[in-house]
Structure formats: structure tokens, C-alpha cells
Amino acid sequence: MTVVRTGPTFSIQEIPFSYHGSWFSISPVVAAHTQASELHLVSHQTGMHPVLRLTPSADTTVTASAALLTWRNRTGLIEVTYDGRDAVRLRGRGIGLRIAAARDTLTPFSGTYLLHDPVDDSYVFTSYETGRRYRVTSLRGDPRAVGVEALGTAARAVELPADQPWEVAVEEYESARRRYPGDRDFDQLVRSTTAEFASFVDRVAPWRSSETPAAELAAYVLWSATVAPGGFLARPAVLMSKHWMNKVWSWDHCFNALALAEADAELAWHQVQLPFDHQDPTGALPDSVAHSEVLHNYVKPPVHGWALRQLRQRLSRPLSRDELSDMYRRLARWTTFWLDQRRVSGHHLPHYQHGNDSGWDNATTFDGDRTVETPDLAALLLLQLRQLADLAGELGLPEEVGQWSRTASQIRAELLGALWDGQRFVARSARTGRLRSSTSLLDLMPIVLGADLPADVSAGLAGGLKRHLTAHGLATEPVDSPHYAADGYWRGPIWAPATVLIEDGLRRAGHIGFADDISQRFRALCEKSGFAENFDAETGAGLRDRAYTWTASSYLILAAAHHRRRRPPHRPG
């Protein structure tokens, strides 16, 4: 018997089984930090909703790969594969399966109803929570249904018996669709998905080797978390996760764009644009965008100028003049928001109104005063102003080059003159002007300015960063700080975006060995603990959401750059 490899294997408890473009996944994770004992079909339209509960008739072991999910025991098995982005095929022998509504209670405004459709002899679950239908079509075997047309509280399920081979298709759709084509071969679907994913990996990580053992799984996390245009996401979007973090936040998306830039320029460019599609009249970007929700209660930090410069160095095709002009206009409005809406009269530096605005929600920088002018915000805005000046020159707008450059000089002078205390950057209250130091890694983020920093400031920041360094990378709060918490979100754990930004800044500032060390530690961390939202700084254990795309993207970004640096220079002849 020939064993066909169907992509990297992974723990279904940590990474959902899904397909590129699909709005649903199969996972035991049914809510934030909540795992059920059974796998569920979980939809990410209108939120995160476990719709169908999948229960084998016997105890089994579950294995998952990019193209195939399997329940298995000594007497039989059940296999699942995708048929495109809105259908899955399931087949079994020796083990039965119960496909049941995840909730038994049906009200006029909640729950799932089950009907037997006489048009095509299928069974259809209709979900109030997702506003979609889930059709179960039998292709082999003799299914039995319970709770058909039941109201109120009742078990609603399609049961597939263990005493005969069976096969069904389950489809997610809106109101109606053509009868499911019964001639699609299950094994061919597996081969097709395997080939699709293999092609994606070859494009995203052509450099992978035994020295980058997590590259293929990182690519799967990105590939499987991508959804087709739908709802408020009018472009193909890489969600942060197909667990509960199933949105696009307005700085996370930049790291996914960078990881995709060389492999798929169009998909990468869509990731950059997604939040800008929802820019408000003042130029502010939303905090996050999901299928059925756009949140403007907070913003996110202006990493977009830094990201655009990085992106243009990586994209597999040059941006057209129209694309550059459009991005320049959007980036200018985003920058003007910070200058016009977030600067107190007479102040050169903008401020955050809450830690959530920075993306570092509960960092100790915000203890005692939330409305603060912080060094990371000034540094990131300075990079964005420099990028706008360069774009204005490229587009033939000399007056705007001067405007952006003058503002950049003001920001730089104030950052170094008002917030550098000779050893470390401090934050300043936007209301009182009071200066306050903290032990957060956030205060060291001006290292992103690279060679634009004075030598003594650069050296001071590099020295400060070493206090945050653990065996696994940069802790967001030093482990000897009284504020450190192992699972303290931004008060201790290691995060991917901070790592990438600091590694890049150190490298551009000339601290090459230190940058190499940080890159190596973070890559080793991902290879050990996967692609969690963040990591325990002392043990390296993954924390929170375990299938987070910006972590996978950051691994790919750092691994690709490491490969490029090791590649011998080309010698003509």
C-alpha cells in the first residue's frame, strides 16, 4: 500500500482543519479559550459559531493534515476532505458518525432547524447564528435523521451507521443551490487539495530545508486562514485565525502581507488594502474588520509606512503608478489623522488614548495614564512621514515632499529632545505633560528607526533590549520586573510583531549580531511551540490562540531573510 503524504500533520486541538478561501473550519475550539470534546463544523460568518457537532460512534484517534482529517481505531476509520471552499466530504467504514446541531434549543431568534428536502432528498440544517444553510447529501449508505422539523428543544441530527460503508457531502450556502454532484471522487479531491497546498508552499517558502522545519506548517496556517471576499471583507483576506481571533486587525495584516509578498503579490496587496477600505472621514483606520463587523472604537499603530517600504522590497512585481498614487493618498490621510486628531495644541507628538490604540493593550507604559505620547508612536509615525516624502517625490509632488519632511524633522527633534532621558525613552502625558518611565519593551521600540538614531541612543536601546532577552526571545516585560506575568498578554510574553520590528531596526542600526540572535531565538521558539498568539517568555510555551497568522508570517519573514543572508553571492561567469 502506497502512503500518500497530504501535507504537514498537526494537532487539531491547536490548528483548525480548513481550506484556502473557506469561511468554515473543523475544530474542537468552539469559543474563546473553549474546547469541546467533539469536533465541530465552525462557521466564521457573522462571528464564530459552532454549527454542527461531529461525533463518531466509537472511541477514535484524530489526525489532521492539510488535505485530510481522519478519525481512526482498530476496526475502522472516518475521513474528511474539502471539496472547494464551501463543502466537505466525509466517508467512513467500520465507524458511524452523528452530524448534529451544536445546540438543541431552537427559538425564533437562535438555534438550528433541521428539515428533509424533498427536492433532492438531502437533509438541511438552517442556522440562525450564521444565517446560512448546511446541506447533508448522502452519496453512499443509508443515513437516518432525528428531530426533522422539530421545534423548541430537541436533538436534531443525521446519523450514519457503522455497519455499512457510507459517504456524505456537507455544504455551506445561503438560500438554495444545485444538487450536489455525486460523481466527484473523494481520493481525487484529496490529491487536488494536496497539490494546491504544495504549490502554495513552494511559492511562499521555496527556500525551506531541514533547517526550517516549521516552514510548511507556517504556510498551512496562512493558507487555511484565508477567506474569500464576504461581508465587510470585500477582498480575499487572511484572518488572524480561524479560532476566535477571526478578524483582520489594522496592524496584524501588515505582517501577513510581507510573508506573502514574493509568493502572491495580488493576495499580499489585498492584505495591505483591507483596513484602508474602511478608512473613516478623518483618515483613521478601524481597529478591526470582520465578516459582519467594523470596529472604530480604537485604532492601531501607524506601522504602515514601515510595512510599505518593506513590502516594495519583497513584492514579486512592481506597483503601478495608479497603485502607488492610491496608496499615497490613503497613507497620507492615515498620517494626517494622527497629526490633526491626536496632537494637543502646541505639541509636536501625537498620543494614544488607550493601550489598545498601540496594539500593546495592557503594556506597563499605560499604567497610571492612558492618554500618552509614547516613543513607539513617534518613531513609527516618523518612518511613515519619511515614506510619504519618498512617495511624494516619486509621484512628482515636490511641495508635499517638503511638507512631510519638515513634519518628520519636528517629530524626530521632539522624540529625541523630550522623550529621551539619556538612557531610555519615556512617555509623556498628553494632558499634564508629566514624564513617566516604565519597564515595557514598548519604550524601546524606537530602535525601528535604525540608522536614523544617534549612535548613543542606538547603543542605549540595544543595551536596554538585552534586559528583555530570554532563551526564547524578547519578553515584553523583563522577567525580573514586579509587573511581569507569564501569561500577562503584553506584560511578559513574547510576541511576533515586536520581534520582527526590533530585529529589523537593530539590523539597520548596525547591531547585526544581536539581530541575528533575536531572529534565531524566535525561529527556534516557533519550531518548538508552533504559532501561538504569544509565548511564555521563560518556558517558551504557546499561549492564547494557537493558530495565529501573524506569528506564522513572522516566522516565514525571518526564515526567508536568514536564508537570503546565507546564500553565497552571485559570481558572474
**Domain range annotation of the chain:** 24-176, 195-224+450-562, 227-317, 342-438
Question: Letter for the amino acid at 54?
Answer: L
Alpha helices in 315-438 (DSSP H): 321-341, 355-358, 375-394, 398-418
H or E stretch at 56: strand 49-56
CA dist 191 to 7, 19, 63, 186, 467, Å?
10, 14, 17, 9, 50
Establish how many alpha carbons lie within 13 A of residue 112's alpha carbon, considering only the half-sphere containing its beta carbon: 26
Rg (CA), the chain: 26
CA dist 439 to 192, 291, 371, 389, 447, Å?
51, 37, 18, 33, 16
pTM score, two decimals?
0.96
Instruction: Give the distance, in angstroms, between the CA of residue 81 and the centroid of all CA atoms in the same chain.
Output: 23
In the chain, the largest separation of any two C-alpha atoms, in whole Å, equals 79
Question: 317-343 b/e with 16+ CB inside 10 Å = b?
Answer: eebeeeebeebbebbbbbbebbeeebe
Confidence (pLDDT) at 6: 79
Residue with cell 548613543: 456
Taking the CA atoms of residue 204, residue 522, residue 505 and residue 250 in that order, the dihedral angle to the nearest 10 degrees is 60
Question: How is residue 488 written as a grid cell?
Answer: 500577562
Calpha distance 495→513 (Å, rounded): 20
Confidence (pLDDT) at 182: 83
Question: 38-75 b/e with 16+ CB inside 10 Å = b?
Answer: ebbbbbbbbebbbbbbbbbbeebebebbbbbbbbbeee
Strand partners, 293: 290
Packing angle between helix 496-508 and helix 252-260, nearest 10 degrees?
70
**Three-class HEC string of 426-471:** CEEECCCCCEECCCCHHHHHHHHHHHHCCHHHHHHHHHHHHHHEEC
Confidence (pLDDT) at 1: 34
Calpha distance 102→147 (Å, rounded): 13
Residue 167 · residue 90 · CB < 8 Å: yes
Question: 292-307 b/e with 16+ CB inside 10 Å = b?
Answer: eebeeebbbbbbbbbb
Calpha distance 168→144 (Å, rounded): 12
Q: Smallest Cα–Cα separation from 43: which of 84, 85, 91, 99?
A: 85
Residue 230 · residue 249 · CB < 8 Å: no
Residues 6+ apart with CB under 8 A from 308: 272, 327, 331, 387
How would you class 149 by CB atoms within 10 Å of its CB: exposed for 0-12, middle for 13-18, buried for 19 or more? Answer: exposed
Q: Is 496 helix (H, G, I), strand (E, B) or coil?
A: helix
Residue 199 · residue 25 · CB < 8 Å: no
pLDDT along the chain (573 residues), means of 10: 70 98 98 97 98 98 98 97 98 98 95 97 97 98 97 97 97 96 94 97 97 98 98 98 98 98 97 98 98 98 98 95 98 98 97 98 96 98 98 98 98 98 94 96 98 97 98 98 98 98 98 98 98 98 97 98 80 47
Calpha distance 499→476 (Å, rounded): 10
Confidence (pLDDT) at 208: 96
Confidence (pLDDT) at 568: 59
Q: Smallest Cα–Cα separation from 273: which of 246, 238, 301?
A: 238
Calpha distance 330→285 (Å, rounded): 10
Residues 6+ apart with CB under 8 A from 100: 52, 53, 55, 155, 156, 157, 158
Start-to-end C-alpha separation, the chain? 48
Residues 6+ apart with CB under 8 A from 274: 233, 235, 237, 248, 253, 289
- Strands of 293-295's sheet, edge to edge? 248-249, 288-290, 293-295
- Please state whether beta strands 87-93 and 166-173 pair in parallel, antiparallel, or not at all (unpaired): antiparallel
Calpha distance 517→281 (Å, rounded): 43
Confidence (pLDDT) at 2: 41
Establish how many alpha carbons lie within 13 A of residue 451's alpha carbon, considering only the half-sphere containing its beta carbon: 4
